[in-house]
Chain A
Amino acid sequence: MDHLDRLESQSIYIFREARALVPRLGMLWSLGKDSNVMVWLARKAFYGKLPFPVMHIDTGRKFPEMYEFRDRYSREWDLDLIVGDCPPVEDMDPTLPPAARSAARKTFGLKRMIAERGFGGIIAGIRRDEESIRAKERIFSPRAVDGEWNFRDQPPEFWNLYHANYPAGVHVRIHPLLQWREIDIWRYIQREKMPIIDLYLARNGKRYRSLGDKDITNPMASEADTIEKIIVELENTRQSERAGRAMDHESEDAFERLRRAGYM
């Protein structure tokens, strides 16, 4: 088994544990490269048909290419898609820096959907190498009744013996991609010949490395107009993946505050 085989097998194992241990699962589908890999892996875990809905928490500010991708592949992959909307930015904590405040809309959209649907578990495609707060995550990560992440007191997790039996009201976040790195994602997309959104490929010297809302996501300088070139680029870059995501850089703890409150 090579490195990608091991990652794939581990993710499938996590999906199956989640399915067996957690009642009422839902999976977040942000349409980005990671969550597409996640859908791909889930289809392998469950032999083609996902046994839970996928949720797109729609801020209404995504790129048109992302909506096209969503509509096409929700059909092709036979997904049970639910789209949830987000409250306006004016309703968000005004003490957050502007971009983080905008991103916080997603947290509320998600919480609303969890409450409406009574989800016991949310599968999210975060990775440890994206960001230093996410690097601290568990694979099965309980969230308090108010959706808060008690990061100071995380449960132990070892030997793949995942625990998901928490009191009513607590939901579990499940992170099947936690151990993947950005370059693994691209190598896997290449190996599996997966479809991608073209915004990731360079046009006129720029490409998006990470896709979020239009107004708070910036492209980076790049000549990588094929997946092969993206991989070469990543092998050599020292720039962080989320450099183009404004909310990470507004203040020292902006992202920590978002995640503590329940952000993905």
Chain B
Amino acid sequence: MAEELKTVRLVIVGEVDHGKSTLVGRLLYDTNSLAEGKLEALEAISKKRGRAIEWAFALDAFQAERDQGITIDTTTVWFNTKRRQFVLVDAPGHHEFVRNMITGAAESDAALLLIDAGEGIKPQTRRHAMLLYLLGVRQLVVLVNKLDLIDFSEREFARLSGEAQALLAEVGLKANAVIPAAARDGDNIANRSERMAWYAGPTLLESLDGFDPAPTSEALPFRFPVQDTYRVGEKRIYAGRIESGKVAVGDMVLVSPVNRQTRVRSIEVFGAAAPVQHAHAGQSVGLTLDDQVFADRGALFSHVEQAPIETNEIKARIFWLPKSPLVVGQALRMRIGTSEVPAQITEIVTRIRPAGLESGAKSIEQNDLADVRLRLGEVIAIDNYLDLPATGRFALVDISGVVGGGVADLHGVPDQRRLRTQAGTNLTAVAHSVPKDVRNLRNGHRGLVIWLTGLSGAGKSTLGMALERRLFERGYQTYVLDGDNVRRGLNSDLTFSADDRTENIRRVAEVAALFADGGTIAITAFISPFRAGREHARKAAGETNFAEIYVKASLAACEARDPKGLYVKARKGEIRDFTGISADYEEPENADLVVDTEAHDFEQCLEQLFEYVVRQTKV
């Protein structure tokens, strides 16, 4: 057997109709890689559709692809050059199929970027270049195709080549070569073109020989995401693939995010001739540990030194694939390594589109890239993508499936590991309770009772609900207690008598206090007319966990609004003890905040309230 050539995974990208599939078909022909009879079949199929030989038919396998002359989904073909064995992925160029281009490019060691000489650089070319960089492809050759369209002009080619190089430099890439070609006729593919005698650089095949397989990550820090645990006999085996680095039996390992240390007892490989002592990046193995640690799928093993960062807030560059835009606060899940946690975008810092960079965007459109901040529902172990690619990149998922992906930028992101370790020490001291600071750290805010008080019709419920919505969208734990949900169960034994109304408020105060203690922003929306009742609520929650908010509007204004028709009924005497009409309302004297719904419009009031809550609940 001849010595095996190194295998390189190559993706070919470019705008639709710039001739990718044609080029690949021609490459197969020039490297003698078309299956027997394929050339004849190509001639037959092309003839049937009344076209000259259509190299693209060597690839476009779906009937629809052949009929429409476009590539819908990625395909894979194989060919050899003198020095390399290539697995070539032909990715569709069409805007609608960017998800397929990403699928092909993400697994590639190198890329071939195609530009149509007649069309020049298109927005899609720029998008593809940005995606290649984000996906981690660093080896690149640019082929300017269809030189016949510009009469094989050296000057015109030099201009296009300069533009292409400038574009690549802008996104962080550099081409090994920019090659003028006419793929259909084979110019500068395998053979030097006589029609472009002025070109002194490599042919495409020569330049492909310069590509190498992506370097292995053995020299990087050890990372082992746990896929699963298996019980085999007496052993508990942690199954997974080493994503980077090396490990040996006896090594001390750190299990994140549970933050426990233990030793590797054995490395389990089925059918191994002798006990395995070492394992390295790329290998799928099993590890057993000295101590019983509660690690499951999603845990990440590392060495104690050079551990991953633990955090529930990251910065990232993401791409977004669905037709519907991504908005701040949208509920997503983030899949990183083998773990999956709730996630949401808290801020779009910069939206990156082919046309340029935009700041202050409120949404991310299909196939856009963006630099964002993400808040996660749990603390995870993660690495900076540029340092450790495999554990620094992630997919975004919703109920429909994978909707995007991204790479983490952890510069300036604080490592929460130490904090949590210290908190973890407290954990035993306070008898198995979760300390408040740990809870707050995970939520990203502290708990608080927002006690809205005011006349019927002042706007308490409307404001409370809107506040809840806005807080929730920004990732806050929050809940509204109002007459509807409280009277249904908790207080279903209470009437509207004066005594029972006092008891109603007392119970609401206690429940709200519990919510706040549990880390939630509890919003209550009750008239709560008496100072004594509100003072009791403040005591129940504790001074610092309670905010009395006076939702202020004059009786006249409330009566004019009368959203539920209660004032009319009260005036007719159909409702007894109606606050403001037949019972007193004791205005707050030292409210923490006054929201005047008569003087300001609804949005202003909500903004005022929201800002107050954000300020008061910062960790």
Report which A residues bind B (CB closer than 8 A).
1-3, 5-6, 8-10, 12-13, 16-17, 19-20, 43-48, 128-129, 132-133, 135-136, 138, 142, 151-152, 154-159, 161, 163, 165-167, 179, 181, 231-232, 235, 237-240, 252-253, 256
Contact = CB atoms under 8 A, between A and B. Distances in A.
Contacts of A237: 36
Contacts of B393: 159
A238 B35 contact: yes
A20 B395 contact: no
What are the 9 closest A-B residue pairs judged by CB atoms, nearest first?
A: A158-B106, A132-B61, A156-B99, A12-B284, A161-B395, A16-B227, A9-B284, A253-B63, A240-B35
A37 B394 CA distance: 31
A152 B35 contact: no
Given A47-B232, A152-B64, A239-B35, A159 B405 contact: yes
B454 interface: no
Given A9-B282, A44-B271, A133-B61, A238 B36 contact: yes
Nearest to B63: A253
Contacts of B36: 237-240
Given A6-B282, A19-B228, A136 B62 contact: yes
B78 interface: yes
Interface string B227-269: 1101010000101110000000000000000000000000011
B425 to A, nearest CB: 33
Given A13-B227, A47-B268, A163-B397, A158 B282 contact: no
A179 B101 CA distance: 17
B2 interface: yes
Nearest to B90: A135
B74 interface: yes
B335 A133 contact: no
A5 B77 CA distance: 21
Contact of B227 (A10, A20, A47, A152): A20
Contact of A135 (B2, B76, B106): B76
B62 A256 contact: yes
A165 B99 CA distance: 18
Interface string B78-109: 10000000010000000000011011001100
Contact of A47 (B72, B74, B237): B237
Interface centre among A1, A13, A136, by most B CB within 10 Å? A136
Chain B interface size, as a band, is 35 or more
Given A17-B227, A136-B61, A256-B62, A159 B282 contact: no
29 contacts: A1-B282, A9-B241, A9-B283, A9-B284, A12-B284, A16-B284, A20-B227, A44-B271, A47-B268, A48-B232, A48-B270, A132-B61, A135-B61, A136-B73, A154-B73, A155-B99, A156-B99, A156-B102, A158-B103, A158-B395, A158-B405, A159-B393, A159-B405, A181-B78, A238-B34, A239-B36, A240-B35, A256-B61, A256-B62
B90 to A, nearest CB: 9
Contacts of A239: 35-36
B270 A43 contact: yes
Nearest to B87: A179
A16 B36 CA distance: 38
Contacts of A44: 269-271
B240 to A, nearest CB: 8
A2 B213 CA distance: 12
A210 to B, nearest CB: 14
A136 B100 CA distance: 10
Interface string B2-33: 10100100000000000000000000000011
Nearest to A164: B401
A20 B61 CA distance: 33
A168 to B, nearest CB: 12
Contacts of A136: 61-62, 73-75
Interface in B96-131: 99-100, 102-103, 106-107
A46 B230 CA distance: 8
Contacts of A167: 399
Contacts of B62: 133, 136, 151-152, 256
Contact of B284 (A13, A155, A252): A13
Contacts of A166: 401
Q: Is chain B's binding surface mostly helix, strand, loop or mixed?
A: mixed
A152 B72 contact: yes
Contact of A155 (B4, B32, B401): B401
Given A161-B335, A235-B1, A129 B74 contact: no
Nearest to A11: B284
B402 interface: yes
Nearest to A157: B103
B76 A128 contact: yes
A6 B283 CA distance: 8
A159 B4 contact: no
Interface string B388-410: 00100111010101100100000
Interface in B26-63: 32-36, 45, 59, 61-63
B377 interface: no
A1 B214 CA distance: 13
Given A13-B241, A16-B284, A154-B100, A161 B402 contact: yes
Contacts of A48: 232, 270
A132 B75 contact: yes
B381 to A, nearest CB: 16
Given A17-B227, A235-B1, A138 B103 contact: yes
Given A1-B282, A239-B36, 4 more contacts: A152-B64, A159-B106, A161-B402, A256-B62
A163 B35 contact: no
B617 to A, nearest CB: 33
B236 to A, nearest CB: 12
B374 to A, nearest CB: 16
Nearest to A15: B284
B107 A252 contact: no
Interface in B129-182: 135
A12 B230 CA distance: 14
A157 to B, nearest CB: 5
Contacts of A46: 230, 270
Contacts of B284: 8-10, 12-13, 16, 45
Given A132-B75, A158-B395, A163 B103 contact: no
Given A1-B282, A47-B230, A163 B241 contact: no
A128 B227 CA distance: 25
Interface centre among B32, B62, B335, by most A CB within 10 Å? B62
Contacts of B34: 238
Nearest to B6: A3
B416 interface: no
B297 interface: yes
A193 to B, nearest CB: 11
Given A156-B402, A158-B135, A159-B393, A135 B75 contact: yes
Contacts of A47: 230, 232, 237, 268, 270, 286
